[in-house]
Structure 1
Amino acid sequence: MDPPTQLNNPSMELNVSKEESSNSSNASPLLPHGEAASALIMLVVAVIISLTIVGNVLVIVALRTSRALRVPQNLFLVSLASADILVAALVIPFSLANEVMGYWYFGSTWCACYLALDVLFCTSSIVHLCAISLDRYWSVTEAVSYNLNWRTPLRIKSMIGVVWLISAVISFPPLIMPKQGERECELIDQTWYILSSSIFSFFIPGLIMILVYCKIYKLGGLGRQSESSFMRVEVEESPSSSQSSGINTAHQRRHLTDTQPQPSPAAGHLPMTAVAQMREKHFTFMLAVAMGVFVVFWFPFFFTYSLQALCTESCYIPKALFKVFFWIGYCNSSVNPIVYTIFNMDFRKAFMKNICRTCKRT
């Protein structure tokens, strides 16, 4: 008869405990939100990603194909739409995976790249809007000289390059910061970076935009009837100087009207510069709305993000609330095409034309 098995063997218990600890470390953590909630989150975020990509692709196609929208200053909107598409393609899917899984699955190297891209694209969005506001302001205050000499494709592209350069400088620190754990990928929690990035990537550009659009409104560039920057070019010359400068004035009139959207047949009884004035005002108002929406969507996140750095212990902000503000900011990438559609007739026409053309092909 075999001897009885020793159940209390210390070596066996040690091996079993090692195996259990190894299995538990290799096992994936449970879903933090539950299966139903996770499925709902994935569905909502999938809709946001789809709206962002499809909407901003329509914006780029409209700006490239519509004669009324194909002007140098709208290159800003092409670059802005591209940044929003990149957010939806390269940032939001990984944020979704991190949120649903409850841990970072993609390694520390991609975590650093992911955080840098997140800061890069979000910062470029607001810096683009800031550059657009300055462009609109200069077109109102320095009408003739700015529209003739500075609003050229080359100079607009140079300004866009500066926008991306500023955004890249602000987004560089996540690449050189100490890497986090393999299963962690959180926003940088160092006070100096939180405050500096929030100030330079949101608060300063936001303040500049608000002040600039208030100035434009006072000058009559948003809605009130006033002397347009384009109407100033139509100054009648004296008889003594008409022969010497008539060619230059004709060139100025032709250049300014060509760079603005062409009038519709319904408005054919209006002078060309009057139609250009109205469309410029409507376009500026649309961009002011886009700026306001951006500030509303991103202010809660940057405010709470900065507040946590200033008073880490005395100011308690629930983690769930912070995540909600974080995702509200991402939703802004899908809003701009909606704003363009609601507040600008040229965009509506271009969208409908391109959609109908695509439907006919299919």
Structure 2
Amino acid sequence: MGCFAFKSGKNKAENQRRRPAGGAKSPAPTSDGTGPTSKASSASTPTRSIQELSEERGAARLRAFGLEELGSATNGFSRSLKVGEGGFGCVYRAFFRSAAGGRVVLAVKRLNQRSLQGHKQWLAEVQFLGVLEHPNLVKLVGYCAEDADADKHRLLVYEFMPNKTLDDHLFSRAYHPLPWRTRLQIMIGAARGLDYLHQGVPEVQVIYRDFKASNVLLDGEFRPKLSDFGLAREGPTDGKTHVSTAVVGTHGYAAPDYIETGHLTVKSDVWGFGVVLYEILTGRRSLDRNRPAEEQKLLGWVRRHPPGGGSFRTIMDPRLGGRYPVAAARETARLADRCLGRNPKERPSMREVAEELERVLQMEPAPTSAPATAKR
């Protein structure tokens, strides 16, 4: 495997000479709403755009990698090192050597050359994750932007997350089922990450726009980190209540008000969070064509078994084996219903969601030892 000396971060002048995507400064996509276009508002007074902040901070924080060194680190982008694949492209485990001689494992995401929107999403990731920093957001280490003949090579280098995604552990039989407390702890961390995006950056508000279980990565201790910021968008400015944009995201997780009007707000993220709350309760995807017709759409099915009803327990994930506090499960479902309110103004903030989940977590004492969650 390609292992070599992992160099320390470049100095600021060096990074400024190697900014992403052709020019003295990082350009921001403006054509279709998938990237930052304007300044945004948050709980405090916004003063800067993501593009401005990226030009100021990203150069100092991100390393510009060469295509050759990333090819070496992934053994020529070997299929044996591929750990995931999505619309953007493939993700590989990459091996580097630290200055001290130890091995450093990172993840390299390589843009699919046939991806029409790929460059804009790549640039959005560089800009947002070059600025944002939180324990519940995946860390972007650097990027690669090299053009050779007709080929445009766009790659991203992240911290490596050994336990893959929440989606894998909820829906794949290759993994032991996640215990109740672990599910709640993961959702609490994800809620904190979204709250940081919505209210935690003084200069700008960020709308994530694609919250789903497959975008929640899990580290070695099953701590969650939000990933894939290619569809993230700056929030409204100048006293506006929403951002008007083309509807993008993942079917089954996008808020109906956003789909119907194109009006994007932080409450659009809250809706997606409510969908995933029901996924952790039921162990079912938001849409599953392999189930009976009346059970294919998760939200339609769970509405027939409300939290206060006698049939509520029938929706719970059978892989939990009944090892969960029923009262806490009901409270979690009630919270999910609030997140899924038809009127976006009535949905809770992500800070309220995190606080409520913390309260639910305390409804039963922590077990002395949690069931195994390792891959079989």
Same fold (TM over 0.5): no
Answer 1 or 2: which has greater helix percent: 1
Q: TM-score, normalised by structure 2?
A: 0.28
Structure of higher RCO (CA pairs closer than 8 Å, 6+ residues apart)? 1
* Structure index of larger Rg: 1
Answer 1 or 2: which has greater strand percent: 2
